[in-house]
Amino acid sequence: MTETNYYPQYNRNYPLLVKNFMKRPLSLIPDDEAIVYRDDAGKYFRFTWRQWHERTCQLAHALKRLGVENGDKIATMALNHHWHMEAIYATICTGGVSHPINIRLSLDHMGYTITHGEDKILLFDDILLPLVELLYDRIKPVVQKFIYISDKPGLPTTKIEPLYSYEELIKDEPTTYDWPDLHEDTEAVLYYTTGTTGLPKGVLFTNRQIYLHCVHSMALVATVVRMPWDPERPNLPIPMMNVPLFHIHAWGAPFSSVWGCAKIVFPGRFTPESFCELVQNEKVTSAMMVPTMLAMLLEYPDINKWDLSSLLGIAIGGGALPLGLKQKAEKYFPEMRTGSGYGMTETMAGAIASGPRRYMVDWPREEIDKILVKTGIPFMPAIDARVVDVNGNDVPHDNETIGEIILRGHWIMDRYYKDPERSAQAWRDGWFHTGDAAKIDKDHYIIIADRITDVIRSGSEMVPTVLLENLTSNAEFVLEATYVGVPDEKWGEIPMALIKKMPGTPAQEEDILTFLQKEGVDQGKITKWMLPVYVAFVDDVPKTSVGKFDKLAIRKKIDEFKAKAKKVRNI
């Protein structure tokens, strides 16, 4: 009997490719609405799964006609919309590398990521034309072709060349494409860190890593322990992608949403009004936000005029979710639940998530709320996470001892792009060192304490700023709070709080100290030497390009903030 030789051997070597995500909605619900985009002018664009796939096929043909080959980097400078999704899938599924540019970086850093990434083609939004013109002279030695994204006909008068119209480029191309069977380790996406401590670092991820993250994320959603007060899961999930696609592809949502046959809603640029309009009109069931966006919603004076009852959940990332902010938000949205997770550019998207365990199902809701704002545990079976001391030993689970989070798993980055020294520094002893300081409690939940570089070192003690920020945000009169160290001759550094108050509150600086004494020191949550020495009320807390508190920018202007602050205690 002769052995039949099958190739490719899909029973054992089925390639884990991004192209396979598109098969599911095309086969199950090709004529259902797939993508809704509302632009800044209020115009709506709607596409079925069939229509979106056809446009993606057309773009794939156009990119090949422009000379794109396997491994070429294709950059995008764009908001969240259907064009951006088409570019991501057309690039990856033809063998290219998708590189969304963080349009909130400085010009120097944007130019660096494009030239360092060696981007061959750049697609950009019409509203970003002035920005691309500013970058043009420094990136034109690398970028060979530019594609102008607009729903309006024609091309602008500009020095940028060669310039192509997106819609003109694809209009006569075939609406089907024979997506190739790439090797699953083919590189698919390139992200850059925000560069808050130096030049941005590039991170590459493969088709296999994206695929495994996607299916494990979907499995996690299906196995989350449900509490008695949780709303029913909808048959049709309708997520809104508020997190920019340049921020690690919106935490993997473009992949999990397609695989899950969800109706995807894109708001363009986030504003509280556009968010509320889309939730009401499209019956959005879930959203992704950084804490800053949630705080902006709570400031929005017209929030009560909208019907937001369809919104059942908000996933928070990009920074710790303070318990106070969570509780304030859920007063506005009684059916909504907020929860936090943990990830970074180097982990592609989420690596740790928070949620209740089965033995907690009868716990009071206020206790479960405290669980949901913790960083979490490695729920996903493909991720290992530890918190270790400087010698690499696991810290005790005492909710006090601070160490560093280290990770390993399928979708943890392999290396920094063209940077072997930083790669070796990050990967030590077989583990990826995140640079995030954390502790672990008796229930094995990890709680972020700080970035290693952001811990306030006062005397011989370390003051974890995230702990103080979360506690301070519990005050009814606080909308946002961050802490930095002020240089001090005696102590090295002393804590200063920057506070953005809830609108209309008459609170004074001393009220912060009183609250922290009562709810922190007296309850044993913090020690007295952690209390702020200075408190500054500010109109806005400086943020990074992805919405995190920008402590580097604050430290650069520390004298200005200290001059605005009031000294609330002596040490």
Mean pLDDT of the chain: 89
- The β-bridge partners of 387 are 405
What CATH number should be reported for the domain holding residue 536? 3.30.300.30
**Number of residues in the chain:** 571
Place of tokens 């919405």: 547
Q: Confirm whether 33 is domain-assigned.
A: yes
- Amino acid at the residue 446: I
Q: Give one DSSP letter per residue of 140-200, joined into a string.
A: TTT--EEEEE-SSSS----S--SEEEHHHHHTTS-S--------TTSEEEEEE---TTSS-
User: In the structure, what pLDDT confidence band is assigned to residue 39 with cuts at 50, 70 and 90?
Assistant: very high
Q: Confirm whether 177 is domain-assigned.
A: yes
User: In the structure, what pLDDT confidence band is assigned to residue 45 with cuts at 50, 70 and 90?
Assistant: very high
Residue 501 neighbours by CB under 8 Å, 6+ apart: 477, 478, 479, 507, 537
Helix residue spans in 185-271 (DSSP H): 207-223, 248-251, 253-259
Other C-beta atoms closer than 10 Å to the C-beta of 66 total 17
Average pLDDT of span 407-418:
92
Look at residues 149, 176, 204 and tell me which one is the last residue of a structural domain.
204
Does the CA dihedral 77-81-85-87 come out positive or negative?
negative
Q: Confirm whether 139 is domain-assigned.
A: yes
- Amino acid at the residue 255: F
Vertex 104: Cα angle to 102 and 106 (nearest 5)? 100
Look at residues 204, 234, 257 and tell me which one is the last residue of a structural domain.
204
pTM: 0.81
* Alpha-carbon gap, residue 180 to 207, rounded angstroms: 13
CA distances from 552 to 196, 453, 468, 487 (A): 7, 10, 18, 14
Place of tokens 């970074």: 344
Sheet hosting strand 239-240, strand order edge to edge: 44-48, 33-38, 264-266, 239-240, 286-289, 313-316, 337-343, 350-353
CA distances from 147 to 84, 119, 173 (A): 12, 13, 16
Which residue range(s) make up the domain with 486? 459-567
Q: What does the pLDDT look like over 138-177, one tens digit per residue?
A: 999 999 999 999 999 999 999 999 999 999 999 999 999 9
- 3-class state of residue 344 by DSSP: coil
* Alpha-carbon gap, residue 105 to 217, rounded angstroms: 29
Average pLDDT of span 305-331:
83
- The β-bridge partners of 97 are 73
Look at residues 204, 228, 254 and tell me which one is the last residue of a structural domain.
204
Q: Confirm whether 121 is domain-assigned.
A: yes
Residue 461 is predicted with a pLDDT of: 60
User: In the structure, what pLDDT confidence band is assigned to residue 548 with cuts at 50, 70 and 90?
Assistant: confident
DSSP code, position 521: I
Tell me the two tokens of residue 78.
């764009």
Number of domains in the chain: 2
Place of tokens 């290219």: 96
Q: Confirm whether 298 is domain-assigned.
A: no
Q: Confirm whether 221 is domain-assigned.
A: no
Tell me the two tokens of residue 19.
């192209």
Q: Confirm whether 56 is domain-assigned.
A: yes
Residue 1 is predicted with a pLDDT of: 42
Q: What does the pLDDT look like over 468-525, one tens digit per residue?
A: 888 898 898 999 999 988 887 667 788 899 999 988 888 999 999 999 988 888 887 7
What CATH number should be reported for the domain holding residue 116? 3.40.50.12780
Q: Confirm whether 70 is domain-assigned.
A: yes
